[in-house]
């Protein structure tokens, strides 16, 4: 008994301390646990229960003993497991900010350049929608914040989402949490530990961002507020994920829910920033950007992020208290005792496994398309109102609405490629999960098995891009009364399918030849396509580098005319990559 008590005390005390230092959101819950742990060492179990229940933030952790017991041990364990991932995420995002900051200075050497740039951006609804509000655009700092823009916030949210999911629902799904919880470990310890690590990671990330910006000679106040905004936004999404992993009983749908929240935050903010900004107050991304780094700092808006995060931690604790380990909030129901013909026909299993994801992606891309389509109307208004825009139009070499659509379609395609890659990589997770082995021990050939999932990845890419194109085209058609644009916009979106197929082909070729590297390398390719697509111009990357991305070869309809040759070439490259993947798969060991 005393051994357990000591372990509990040792685990929680310092854990609480770390949390208090790491982030305000988790501090109240963790700090309370330091009390009961001391009592536990003294052996007064009864007192412990009362103290824990009375003091716990959630107010519902009524069980005897600390619900946070063992948190520090888990914190160490998570740091060990993420010793590569955490630094990669933190350094990657820091590098994004640093490289933006260092290139901005070169692009706008004089105040006159900055003024011009500020004017251009203010009048460009597309830029406002994709990057954020027009605060302090006539300063170097403001330009850095604007150019890192929403992408930076999305990146920290993704970091939080993946890492929290990995240590909570993914572990629970695999049965590892059960093993841990059977030892001396409180119910809330796993989620608290990962949030403590995330809090620490975001403090570190924020500090690195501040140092990077100060190193570029930018003002202190703005740099600190921007670092804090990035960190606080990431922490908020760590807490959002802490809740979604309680709701869904699998990691994939849980992360999907977080993705929906992030998408909604982005879209609401985009619509708000293009309009008068009121709507942006409904979005946490709006709160982060509303802290106005380098433009009359308003750090109190970050308290909204931290306050919401604290509430979400309480919600997560509450949900943990009312649900079973391994379950979600919906109890499992019995299913059919026999398989339908649809399941057992060729490709039936792959479709069944990926159906949910496919529907979500199609709906998500359609909604994103609708939101871009509705903003496009404002772009037209802006041009009408502003006489200074003639220059800009001349610079852009075309209609600004068309330029907006071209950027919107590129962005949607860069969303869509994530579907294609995650869909084809399902092959790898089926393989490493041991679920491919029984299938491949039947008369199903490796190629047949791979084809069933590839068909979803390739066909699904067409569907998501069609949904995106129709969303943009129909919404704009209705809003602007220009239905004639719907056809070209759909066509423009479908042209990007060729680029999606190339990336799917890269992922499949990796799966065939370097299965162990396939997942990280394929996602790195996606990230590089994103960086080239969104930042290629800004970073003034060499043409040769920019042209590595298949997305840069797709005709930018409607700003450009359709040309068959590049699209056909991309399809040919994709076909070659797929053939390469099949050849590798036939040759290699399966199941490792």
Partner 1 sequence: MTNAIEVTGLVKTFGATRALDGLDLTVATGEVHGFLGPNGSGKSTTIRVLLGLLRADAGTARLLGGDCWSDAVALHRRLAYVPGDVTLWPSLTGGEVIDLLGRLRGGLDAGRRDQLLERFELDPTKKGRTYSKGNRQKVALVAALASDAELLILDEPTSGLDPLMEAVFQQTIREVTDDGRTVLLSSHILAEVESLCDRVSIIRKGRTVETGTLAELRHLTRTSIAVEAERPLEGIEQLAGVHDPEVEGTRARFDVDTAHIDGALRHLTRFGVRSLTSQPPTLEELFLRHYGDEMAGAGAGVEAGAGAGAGADGVEASS
- Applying CB under 8 A, which residues contact partner 1? 173, 249-250, 326, 332-340, 343-344, 349, 352-353, 433-435, 437-445, 587-592
Least separation, in Å, of the C-beta of 459 and partner 1?
Answer: 21
In whole angstroms, how close is the CB of 519 to partner 1 at the nearest point?
A: 18
Q: Note whether 467 and 419 are within 8 A (CB).
A: no
Nearer to partner 1, 295 or 349 (CB): 349
Least separation in angstroms between CB 264 and partner 1:
26
Residue whose CB is less far from partner 1, 334 or 481: 334
Closest distance of CB 578 from partner 1, Å: 20
Taking residue 432's Cβ as centre, other Cβ atoms within 10 Å add up to 14
Contact between residue 537 and residue 556 where contact means Cβ atoms under 8 Å apart: no
Q: Which is nearer to partner 1, 89 or 449 (CB)?
A: 449
Q: Which residues contact 342 (CB under 8 A, 6 or more apart)?
A: 348, 351, 352
Asked if 216 contacts 105 with a C-beta cutoff of 8 angstroms, the reply is: yes
Question: Up-side HSE of residue 347: CA atoms within 13 Å toward CB?
Answer: 9
**Buried b vs exposed e over 188-205: b needs ≥16 C-beta within 10 Å?**
bbbbbbbbbbbbbbbbbb
- Residues near 276 by beta carbon (within 8 Å), at least 6 away in sequence: none
Q: Taking the alpha carbons of 518, 519, 524, 529 in that order, is the dihedral positive or negative?
A: positive
Query: Which of 447/563 has CB closer to partner 1?
Result: 447
DSSP-based three-state secondary structure for 323: coil
Tokens of 206: 């924020």
The residue (of 341 and 564) whose beta carbon lies closer to partner 1 is 341
Q: How far apart are CA 285 and CA 97, in angstroms?
A: 17
* Residue corresponding to tokens 């704009």: 476
Least distance to partner 1, CB of residue 92, Å = 29
DSSP 495-523: HHHHHHHHHHHHHHHHHHH-HHHHHHHHH
Q: Locate 433 and state its tokens.
A: 């999960």
Nearest-angstrom CA–CA distance, 395 and 386: 15
Minimum CB distance to partner 1 smaller for 135 or for 449: 449
Residue 132: left if φ>0, alpha if ψ -120 to 50, beta else—which one? left
Whichever of 289 and 452 has its CB closer to partner 1, that residue is 452
Nearer to partner 1, 339 or 521 (CB): 339
DSSP letters for 379-397: HHHHHHH-TTHHHHHHHHT
Select 94 or 168, whichever has its Cβ closest to partner 1. Answer: 168
Distance in Å, CB of 347 to partner 1, minimum: 12
Nearest residue (CB) to partner 1, 111 versus 447: 447
Residue 54 or 330 having the CB closest to partner 1: 330
Give min distance, CB of 236 to partner 1, in A.
29
Min CB(439)–partner 1 separation in Å: 7
With contact defined as beta carbons under 8 Å apart, do 325 and 185 qualify? no
Phi, psi of 325 (to 5 degrees): -65, 135
Q: Taking the complex as a whole, how short is the minimal distance between the CB of residue 357 and partner 1, in angstroms?
A: 12
Non-local (6+) Cβ contacts of 112 within 8 A are none
What is the rounded distance in angstroms from the CA atom of residue 44 to the CA atom of residue 54?
16
Q: How far is the CB of 249 from partner 1 (least distance, A)?
A: 8
Min CB(495)–partner 1 separation in Å: 35
């Amino acid at each position: 008994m005393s051994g357990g008590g000591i372990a509990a005390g040792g685990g929680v005390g310092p854990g609480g301390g770390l949390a208090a230092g790491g982030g305000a959101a988790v501090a109240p819950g963790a700090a309370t646990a330091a009390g009961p742990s001391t009592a536990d060492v003294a052996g007064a179990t009864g007192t412990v229960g009362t103290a824990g229940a009375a003091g716990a933030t959630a107010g519902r952790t009524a069980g005897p003993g600390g619900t946070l017991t063992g948190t520090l041990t888990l914190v160490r364990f998570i740091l060990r497991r993420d010793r590569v991932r955490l630094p990669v995420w933190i350094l990657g995002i820091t590098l994004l900010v640093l490289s933006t900051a260092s290139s901005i200075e070169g692009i706008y050497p004089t105040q006159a350049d900055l003024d011009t740039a500020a004017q251009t951006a203010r009048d460009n609804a597309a830029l406002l929608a994709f990057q954020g509000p027009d605060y302090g655009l006539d300063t170097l700092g403001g330009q850095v914040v604007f150019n890192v823009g929403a992408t930076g916030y999305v990146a920290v949210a993704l970091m939080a989402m993946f890492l929290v999911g990995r240590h909570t629902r993914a572990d629970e799904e695999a049965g590892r949490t059960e093993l841990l919880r059977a030892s001396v470990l409180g119910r809330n310890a796993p989620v608290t530990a990962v949030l403590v690590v995330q809090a620490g990671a975001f403090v570190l990330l924020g500090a690195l961002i501040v140092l990077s910006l100060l190193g570029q000679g930018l003002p202190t106040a703005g740099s600190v507020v921007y670092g804090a905004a990035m960190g606080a936004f990431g922490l908020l999404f760590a807490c959002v994920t802490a809740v979604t992993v309680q709701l869904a009983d699998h990691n994939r749908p849980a992360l999907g829910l977080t993705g929906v929240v992030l998408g909604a935050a982005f879209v609401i903010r985009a619509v708000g920033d293009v309009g008068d900004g009121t709507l942006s107050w409904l979005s946490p991304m709006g709160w982060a950007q509303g802290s106005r780094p380098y433009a009359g700092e308003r750090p109190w808006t970050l308290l909204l992020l931290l306050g919401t995060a604290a509430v979400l931690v309480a919600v997560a604790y509450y949900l943990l208290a009312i649900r079973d380990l391994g379950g979600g909030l919906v109890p499992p129901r019995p299913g059919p005792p026999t398989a339908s013909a649809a399941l057992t026909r060729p490709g039936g299993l792959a479709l069944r496994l990926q159906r949910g994801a496919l529907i979500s992606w199609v709906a998500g891309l359609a909604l994103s398309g609708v939101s871009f389509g509705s903003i496009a109307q404002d772009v037209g208004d802006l041009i009408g109102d502003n006489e200074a825009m003639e220059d800009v139009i001349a610079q852009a070499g075309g209609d600004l609405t068309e330029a907006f659509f071209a950027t919107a379609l590129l962005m949607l395609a860069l969303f869509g490629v994530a579907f294609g890659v995650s869909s084809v990589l399902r092959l790898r997770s089926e393989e490493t999960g041991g679920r491919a082995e029984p299938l491949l021990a039947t008369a199903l050939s490796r190629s047949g098995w791979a084809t069933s999932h590839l068909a979803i990845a390739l066909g699904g890419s067409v569907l998501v891009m069609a949904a995106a194109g129709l969303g943009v085209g129909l919404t704009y058609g209705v809003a602007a009364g220009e239905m004639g644009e719907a056809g070209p916009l759909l066509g423009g979106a479908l042209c990007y399918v060729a680029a999606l197929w190339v990336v799917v082909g890269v992922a499949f070729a990796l799966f065939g030849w370097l299965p162990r590297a396939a997942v990280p390398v394929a996602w790195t390719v996606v990230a590089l396509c994103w960086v080239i697509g969104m930042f290629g111009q800004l970073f003034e990357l060499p043409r040769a580098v920019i042209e590595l991305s298949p997305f840069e070869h797709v005709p930018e309809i409607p700003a450009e005319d359709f040309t068959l040759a590049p699209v056909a070439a991309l399809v040919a490259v994709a076909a070659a990559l797929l053939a390469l993947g099949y050849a590798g798969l036939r040759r290699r060991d399966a199941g490792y």
